[in-house]
Structure 1
Amino acid sequence: MMSRPLSALLAVLALVVATVTPARRARAADTTIPTELVGVDIEERPGAQLPRELRLRDQSGQEVELGRYAAGDKPLVLVLGYYECPMLCSLVLNGVLQAMKESAWSAGTEYRTLVVSFDPRDTPEAARKKRANYIEAYGRPVAGDGFDFLVGDEASVRALASTVGFNYRWDETAKQYAHAAGAFVFTPDGRLSRTLYGISFPQKNFGLALREAGSGQVGSAWDRVLLFCFHYDPNARGYVLATQRLMKAAGVLTVVLLGLWLMRFWRTERARTRARVNEAS
């Protein structure tokens, strides 16, 4: 017959195994898409490599290679849009800007933000004006190339958009581009780490995406704890609490603590037994 302490330990182990079993959730997808938006979306392409050799022009008119923004020292936030966009691009940029303002990290110091126009008609002057507005709204000093706005020819920008799975097209009827809303977060060496969807980027999603992309090269020990507790859910398109991880960690901690308590209990019992024997003799 098993002792009570051993039975208790086995019961806890069984409970831990039961609680960390993955749960399956079914999600219904809305597949109704307007005709003019068919093919206009963002495809998940984690691990895609930023085309480093691609040449574009920055807000000063200088030709730059994209590799400059993936120099191995900081994660990169990429936003694709166009500077004469009547609505959506500004909403996306404003959402990214708000996340940047709420972040404890600063553009140019801990990460870079890069905005690239996919409209070949946009000029460096348009990029300069747009950048000036957003730099002023950011309200913090920006180090080096920490918040740049680029333009490029059709082929170059298409190549970049294709790399990250950003599909867009010209709508002749509306005389504007049809495109999706989102931002792309790259590791310091230029690999696509996460795609953030929509026009609003909660600090939880934005901050954790940067920390994850940093791969431990940027951030504190607390950042790594946050990454352990949260994971990216492509279905929810955001970071969610990693319940399974927490349960596993809690389960392991419970077993360790229980084991330590049982060891102390058994030692105490043995000591008491010896004391009784000595008293009896």
Structure 2
Amino acid sequence: MDRFALRVWAAAAVTVATLVAAALPARAQISAQDLSDRVGIDQRLNDLVPLDASFVDEKGKAVKIGDYLGNKKPILLVLIYYKCPSLCNRILNATLEAIQPIKYTVGKEFDIVCVSIDPRETPDVANRKKQSYVRSYGREGSANGWHFLTGTESEIQRLAAATGYRYAYDPKFDIYAHGAGIMLVTPEGHLAQYFLGIEYSPRDLELAITQASEERIGSLVDDIILYCFIWDPSTGKYSLQILRVVQLGAILTVLVLGIGIVRMVRKEKRNPMLPPGPRTDDPSGEKKNA
């Protein structure tokens, strides 16, 4: 590696170090908050959901998670709460956008089971939320396959623990901090696939429904989106964690520079610079006789 390449690499290292150092105070402030560490989604593929977990549907009827399984149809499991001021609606809207263009219909090839993580919510609240989304979905018969449940704190926690869904109540803002994502469960009750974040690919979802209906388990998905998306208890909102964004950007910068340097060195080895030719004039400016 020549001197120029070394200078470029050194400059990149200094830049990265400066950016990370500048972001350290933000990280220290966030890591001091307990809620941030208690919120997230751990993918537990192939684990069995508690089929006997008891809830109440939007009509006030006592039901169990297993009631929606065993009929050769997978379910899309969505843990949210219905009076959530922001993120839950984005998750539901993203779910709606993902299921609208696919060939499968809610209530026919698969069901959707939404479960509130707030034990204070009632079937009446759940029913209003259901009517809104069933109307927006617009496919005939979908009301029979889209369920909005409420339940006790113990049953909610039981289901959440089994699915790797970690959440926490923030009494300061009277809000639940939680991860962003939905889960696909096979007809026999096994966790088949996770979709993380607030945007889900219709194509991937359709394929996952096909596989889950055959009791096939998917693979772990990249949680890079959630890596930067955290709950900030100082504001009661979700926000980007600046240090993590800087870290990711720094890593990408170093990788790009590294690839560029390697290519440059290889090019120099293939096309070495020729040494300078002999001088034809005298430094003194006087011409020499041949």
Q: TM-score w.r.t. structure 2 length?
A: 0.63
Q: CA contact under 8 A between 2:169 and 2:177: conserved in structure 1? A: yes
> Which amino acid counterpart does residue 234 of structure 1 have in structure 2?
V
Q: CA contact under 8 A between 1:80 and 1:117: conserved in structure 2? A: yes
2:202 aligned with 1:203, yes or no?
yes
**Aligned residues with identical type, % of pairs:** 33
Structure 1 position 103, deviation (Å): 1.2
Deviations 1:215-264 (A, max 9, x none): 279xxxxxxxxx9xxx74533689xxxxxxxxxxxxxxxxxxxxxxxxxx
Q: CA contact under 8 A between 2:45 and 2:220: conserved in structure 1? A: no
> Which amino acid counterpart does residue 200 of structure 2 have in structure 1?
F
Tell me how far apart the structure 2 counterparts of residues 152 and 48 of structure 1 sit (CA, whole Å).
22
Tell me how far apart the structure 1 counterparts of residues 184 and 45 of structure 2 sit (CA, whole Å).
10
- The equivalent residue for 1:241 is none
Deviations 1:157-183 (A, max 9, x none): 110011100000001222200000000
CA spacing shift, 1:80–1:236, aligned 2, 3 Å: closer
Tell me how far apart the structure 2 counterparts of residues 188 and 37 of structure 1 sit (CA, whole Å).
34
Structure 1 segment 90-239 matched on structure 2, within 5 A: 90-143=89-142, 145-215=144-214, 232-235=219-222
Structure 1 position 142, deviation (Å): 2.6
Q: CA contact under 8 A between 1:55 and 1:65: conserved in structure 2? A: yes
> Which amino acid counterpart does residue 39 of structure 1 have in structure 2?
R
Which sits farther off after the overlay, 141-150 or 195-204?
A: 141-150
- The equivalent residue for 2:83 is 84
Structure 1 position 210, deviation (Å): 1.1
Tell me how far apart the structure 2 counterparts of residues 237 and 208 of structure 1 sit (CA, whole Å).
22
How many correspondences in the alignment?
Answer: 196
RMSD: 2.3
Q: CA contact under 8 A between 2:43 and 2:220: conserved in structure 1? A: no
Tell me how far apart the structure 2 counterparts of residues 65 and 109 of structure 1 sit (CA, whole Å).
20
Q: CA contact under 8 A between 2:102 and 2:203: conserved in structure 1? A: no
Secondary structure of residue in 1 paired with 2:127: helix
Tell me how far apart the structure 1 counterparts of residues 223 and 121 of structure 2 sit (CA, whole Å).
34
Give unpaired runs (5+ residues) of structure 2: 1-26, 226-290
Structure 1 position 192, deviation (Å): 0.4
- The equivalent residue for 2:51 is 52
Tell me how far apart the structure 1 counterparts of residues 97 and 124 of structure 2 sit (CA, whole Å).
24
Which sits farther off after the overlay, 137-146 or 176-185?
A: 137-146
Give unpaired runs (5+ residues) of structure 1: 1-31, 218-226, 239-281
CA spacing shift, 1:104–1:48, aligned 2, 3 Å: same
Tell me how far apart the structure 2 counterparts of residues 40 and 119 of structure 1 sit (CA, whole Å).
15
Deviations 1:22-80 (A, max 9, x none): xxxxxxxxxx6653311200011011112111111000000011111112410110000
2:24 aligned with 1:37, yes or no?
no
> Which amino acid counterpart does residue 147 of structure 1 have in structure 2?
W
> Which amino acid counterpart does residue 152 of structure 1 have in structure 2?
G
Structure 1 position 205, deviation (Å): 2.2
- The equivalent residue for 2:235 is none
CA spacing shift, 1:158–1:145, aligned 2, 3 Å: farther
Higher Cα Rg: structure 1 or 2?
2
